[in-house]
A and B are shown apart, each in its own frame.
Chain A
Amino acid sequence: MKTIRIGSGAGFAGDRIEPAVELAERGDLHYLGFECLAERTIALAQAERLRDPDLGFDPLLVARMEAVLPACSARGVRILTNMGAANPRGAARAVAAVARRLGLAGMRIAAVTGDDVLNTVRNGIFPLLERPGSVADLGASIRSANAYLGAEGLVAALREGADVVITGRVGDPALFLAPLIHEFGWAMDDWALLGRGTVVGHLLECAGQITGGYFADPGFKDVPNLARLGFPIAEVAADGSCIITKVAGSGGRISLSSCKEQLLYELLDPNAYLQPDVTADFSAVRFAELGPDRIAVSGGAGRERPATLKVSVGYLDSHVGEGQISYAGPGAVARGRLALEIVRERLHLIGVKMTEARFELIGVDAAHQGGDASGYADPPEVRVRVVGRTDSLAEAVRIGNEVESLYTNGPAGGGGAWKSAREVIAVVSTLIPRACAAHAVSVEVA
């Protein structure tokens, strides 16, 4: 029976590069996917493209392709990625240049576009999902608007013989669903198969999160050799069932527990995981351990896809200023709290205008949100953190300054002060009719 082996080469923009090389060289793969596009990344990339029309794609694209193209080309492993960000065509040209440099002339690099719907949503009535108002209310602060496209454009590129398929915004699982549709000839309205393929994509898309990353908890969930954490492979059958595994000898461990955690990761209603291609149903998915690092997956289902596409809209939201400083030794918590009170009063005295602020101690109540902290002993060191939202960068700068000045104007023993001020590009969402976003494929030959 025909099976397709798909590897996951990256789970986020900054992910490690070596596991993808290991997969390309020793994974016996047919396809290798790289999911590298966080929600607001396109908004930042769009700004870069405005400065330079050849840029606006993932800054690690060239390094990743230089690392994997030789093995992928030699073994016929086809690549799919959303590293095109705001400029998939520019990204395809850059990858073609890499291929030529590596002596891989003739390689076909496809760009799949069509996710950029900025002009559509800017000029219509598109209500925001997160809060009252519409996209038009964001006015000049809008930076980008990208629809989550499905697998169709990626499948079309594979059909055209692309060795590398580069796109912008697509539903993350679509990067892994597309090869299955292409290889097995699944119909775009066979909801059960598309649902199962979405399970495969969902398990793979975060790469190391299913092989023991974001999982290890010493004494409870021990994972061997995390430093060499390997990334996953799905061996997928024509009925959409699969086995999750990894390269023999790579670090990490694929267990029933790690698979369950990743299946439910970022899932809201398990009965209705909304994707551009299908409403997937994960509620009856089951795992079975076949051997070490080999877990069988079955039971995914699906129903008709949503009528609309989700759009992420990036906009300039505000500015944020922040400062940090550390205290250690006996009384560290008390000195940290005194420092927070001093900064709070000084920001008020000098009239820094903040619409929102946090005064907290890293080590006590910064990452530990909610819950019950009463059972924990005081730590031997704390780090003061003051962060506030402002309307301008100049105002944001003043927040960090007041933390830094604790050196000579605050409690005893403050050390390691740090400050920053930054612009905040945030993301809101809306829905558009499917007809508003049509994909297009162009092919660059190296």
Chain B
Amino acid sequence: MRLLDLAHARTGDKGDTSQISIIAYDEGDYAFLAEHVTAARVAAHFAAILRGTVTRYELPGLGALNFVLHHALAGGVTRSLRLDPHGKCLGAVLLELEMPGRQAAAEHHGGNDRT
């Protein structure tokens, strides 16, 4: 199972900082996400482009985690040489994360937006 099966993501940018929200399709999965999608895992996933640290903010009331990746955008949208200078694609890349198997979760969250 991948993070893709449990949550959706949106990416924003502020200067050289990338921001990725991870939002559970089912708010009941929040604790599972909070346990397995840590700042350290996100930092490791983006190690190739991250030049700073990752801060995680928790929003249990929304079933969401907000990741702030400092110095992840090669200077930010106004000077980055990247094809995607905003880093808009990074949220989808984060959804690649492998998650520990949970039979119940796999059955419940096989696909569509249930919220």
Report which A residues bind B (CB closer than 8 A): 39-40, 130, 214-215, 217, 219-222, 255-257, 260-271, 283-287, 299, 317-318, 320, 356-358, 360, 362, 366-372, 375, 385, 387-389, 424-427, 429
Contact = CB atoms under 8 A, between A and B. Distances in A.
B112 A367 contact: no
Contacts of B48: 369-370
Contact of B79 (A255, A286, A318): A318
B81 A358 contact: yes
Interface string B57-82: 10101111010100000011111011
B78 A257 contact: no
Interface string B82-115: 1110011110011010000000000000011101
27 contacts: A217-B8, A219-B111, A219-B112, A257-B25, A260-B21, A260-B64, A261-B10, A266-B12, A266-B19, A283-B61, A299-B61, A317-B78, A367-B82, A367-B89, A368-B89, A369-B46, A369-B82, A369-B84, A369-B89, A370-B93, A372-B96, A388-B81, A424-B79, A426-B75, A426-B76, A427-B78, A429-B15
Contacts of A217: 8
A259 to B, nearest CB: 9
Contact of A369 (B17, B49, B63, B111): B49
B64 to A, nearest CB: 6
A362 B83 contact: yes
Given A256-B115, A264-B23, A429-B15, A356 B81 contact: yes
Given A257-B113, A367-B84, A265 B25 contact: no
A265 B10 contact: yes
Contacts of B89: 367-369
Interface in B23-41: 23, 25
Contacts of B66: 264, 267-268, 270
Contacts of B76: 130, 426-427
Contact of A220 (B4, B84, B93): B4
Given A267-B12, A369-B46, A370-B49, A40 B78 contact: yes
B40 to A, nearest CB: 14
Nearest to A354: B81
A285 B21 CA distance: 15
Contacts of A222: 112-113
Contacts of A385: 83
A369 B90 contact: yes
Question: Which has the most chain B C-beta neighbours within 10 Å: A265, A362, A375?
Answer: A265
B16 A130 contact: yes
- SS class, residues of chain B in contact with chain A: loop
B49 to A, nearest CB: 5
Contacts of B50: 370
Nearest to B92: A217
A356 B48 CA distance: 16
A-B pairs, 5 with minimum CB distance: A266-B12, A370-B46, A264-B21, A371-B93, A261-B10
A389 B84 contact: no
A426 B15 CA distance: 10
Contacts of B94: 371
A257 B23 contact: yes
Question: Which has the most chain A C-beta neighbours within 10 Å: B68, B79, B82?
Answer: B79
A78 to B, nearest CB: 29
Given A40-B78, A266-B19, A261 B83 contact: no
Nearest to A265: B12
Contact of B68 (A220, A268, A371): A268
A426 B78 contact: yes
A255 B115 contact: yes
A155 B29 CA distance: 43
B78 A425 contact: yes
B13 to A, nearest CB: 7
Nearest to B84: A367
Contact of A221 (B8, B64, B79): B8
A40 B80 CA distance: 13
Given A222-B112, A318-B79, 10 more contacts: A214-B10, A260-B62, A261-B10, A264-B66, A317-B78, A367-B84, A369-B48, A385-B83, A389-B81, A425-B78
Contacts of B96: 371-372, 375
A370 B90 contact: yes
Contacts of B15: 130, 427, 429
Contacts of B59: 264, 270, 283
Given A265-B10, A285-B62, A370 B47 contact: yes
Nearest to A299: B61
Nearest to A369: B49
Question: Which has the most chain B C-beta neighbours within 10 Å: A39, A369, A385?
Answer: A369
B115 to A, nearest CB: 4
A360 B84 CA distance: 12
